[in-house]
């Protein structure tokens, strides 16, 4: 009988101690779950220079946000997968990300983004699109875009053409979602400005010899040639080596991707578009380079174009989650965020398609000079 009494007493003591333990545990601060951002970007392959630069900006913003306490006490966690700028790898990257249950998918590059958009839509996750010219968001109402639009890019370069009295243009463009969207956007703005496209030639991504399309452009005798490519270096070299007497204009990629400093001789005398952080002498240039230097980034031959875009992208994501932690409401909240000060200027977030200002520049003596 004594043994039974002792056993009951001991059991009661165990429950009492356990209860105290549970109570003490509940009194400790509970760590909040991080905000998981699943990132699909090109980390290998021909477009890796874009992906690595973009990730630099994401990591800069992530550190700043987390160092100041995160988003309402929640840290930003980046889940990163390589899409190689290929449709199949884009889908593979999405599959890998979905296993980690992200709050939001951030996708870059037109080809993989077009491929994964319907899959992300089906999952119910919000999709954030950047470094993409192809139209993704019209077919996915749970997606937003924050990057210079084709109209933004064209609207920056066309005034430079008009200033140089360009009336006819030949276009050479990459045959892809990105290339076609960029060409269509430029064509629309050129026609509005009274500039006639007298010839347009496309090329495949694995092209090494541009002689045939360039000779066709040369035969149309344009005042200028507009280049749309991921890597414009061999195309611009081809224009010059074929002795085509036309001014050369490029879209934003050579500047954003720092290609102008990888081969400044090739781009000498060409016209391009650039964000403020890439134009020496602007307050944006000085301010963001100081941030990048503090973050340990190499600044030599670096325009910080994609880096600055990524930085502003993640800051906007953080602002949305600061207002409402529910990812289901992300798109609607992003669309009514209002004005936002970024490293490249002030943005107006009142819709799902947020553009970004870019400015006409010319490569002169190895430097980007703004055309005013």
Chain position carrying tokens 């699109």: 129
Query: What string of DSSP letters covers 59-86?
Result: HHHHHHHHHTTTBTTBPEEEEEEE-TT-
C-alpha 370/C-alpha 277 separation (Å) is 12
Rounded to 5 degrees, φ, ψ at 110 are: -65, -50
As given in the structure block, the two tokens for residue 193 are 């400005």
- For 122, phi then psi, to 5°, come to -65, -35
Do the domains 151-282+359-370 and 35-148+284-354 match in fold?
yes
CB burial of residue 271 (10 Å; 0-12, 13-18, 19+): buried
Cα four-point dihedral sign 299, 303, 309, 310: negative
The pLDDT tens digits along the chain (372 residues) read: 434 333 434 434 333 433 443 333 333 334 689 999 999 999 999 999 999 999 999 999 999 999 999 999 999 999 999 999 999 999 999 999 999 999 999 999 999 999 999 999 999 999 999 999 999 999 999 999 999 999 999 999 999 999 999 999 999 999 999 999 999 999 999 999 999 999 999 999 888 889 999 999 999 999 999 999 999 999 999 999 998 999 999 999 999 999 999 999 999 999 999 999 999 999 999 999 999 999 999 999 999 999 999 999 999 999 999 999 999 999 999 999 999 999 999 999 999 999 999 999 999 999 999 998
Mind listing the pLDDT tens digit for each residue in 273-286?
Answer: 999 999 999 999 99
Measured CA to CA, the distance from residue 75 to residue 348 in angstroms comes to 26
Nearest to 46 by CA among 271, 204, 171, 172: 204
Query: What architecture (CATH level 2) is domain 151-282+359-370?
Result: 3-Layer(aba) Sandwich (3.40)
> In whole angstroms, what separates CA 309 from the centre of its chain?
6
d(CA 305, CA 262): 14
Contact status, residue 172 vs residue 228, Cβ threshold 8 Å: yes
Q: What fold characterizes domain 35-148+284-354?
A: Rossmann fold (3.40.50)
How would you classify residue 194: left for phi > 0, otherwise alpha for psi between -120 and 50, otherwise beta?
A: left
Domain boundaries, the chain: 35-148+284-354, 151-282+359-370
């Amino acid at each position: 009988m004594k043994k039974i009494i002792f056993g009951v007493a001991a059991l009661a003591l165990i429950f009492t101690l356990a209860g105290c333990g549970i109570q003490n545990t509940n009194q400790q601060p509970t760590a909040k779950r991080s905000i998981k951002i699943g990132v699909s970007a090109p980390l290998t392959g021909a477009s890796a220079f874009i992906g690595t630069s973009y990730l630099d900006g994401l990591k800069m913003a992530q550190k700043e946000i987390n160092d100041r306490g995160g988003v309402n006490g929640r840290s930003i966690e980046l889940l990163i997968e390589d899409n190689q700028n290929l449709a199949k790898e884009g889908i593979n990257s999405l599959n890998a990300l979905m296993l980690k249950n992200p709050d939001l998918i951030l996708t870059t590059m037109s080809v993989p983004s077009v491929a994964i958009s319907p899959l992300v839509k089906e999952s119910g996750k919000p999709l954030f699109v950047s470094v993409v010219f192809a139209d993704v968001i019209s077919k996915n109402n749970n997606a937003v875009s924050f990057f210079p639009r084709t109209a933004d890019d064209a609207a920056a370069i066309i005034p430079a053409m008009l200033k140089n009295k360009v009336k006819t243009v030949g276009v050479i463009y990459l045959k892809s979602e990105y290339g076609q969207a960029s060409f269509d956007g430029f064509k629309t703005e050129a026609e509005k400005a009274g500039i006639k496209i007298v010839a347009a030639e496309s090329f495949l991504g694995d092209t090494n010899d541009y002689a045939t399309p360039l000779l066709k452009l040369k035969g149309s005798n344009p005042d200028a040639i507009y280049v749309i490519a991921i890597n414009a270096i061999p195309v611009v070299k081809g224009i010059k080596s074929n002795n085509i007497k036309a001014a050369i204009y490029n879209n934003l990629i050579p500047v954003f991707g720092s290609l102008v400093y990888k081969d400044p001789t090739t781009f000498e005398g060409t016209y391009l578009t650039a964000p403020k952080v890439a134009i020496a002498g602007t307050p944006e240039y000085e301010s963001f380079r100081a941030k990048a230097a503090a973050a340990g980034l190499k600044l030599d031959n670096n325009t910080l174009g994609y880096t600055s875009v990524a930085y502003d992208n993640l800051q906007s994501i953080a602002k949305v989650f600061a207002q409402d932690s529910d990812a289901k409401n992300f798109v609607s909240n992003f669309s009514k965020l209002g004005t936002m000060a970024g490293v490249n200027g002030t943005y107006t977030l009142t819709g799902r398609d947020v553009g970004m200002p870019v400015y006409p520049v010319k490569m002169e003596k190895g430097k980007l000079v703004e055309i005013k």
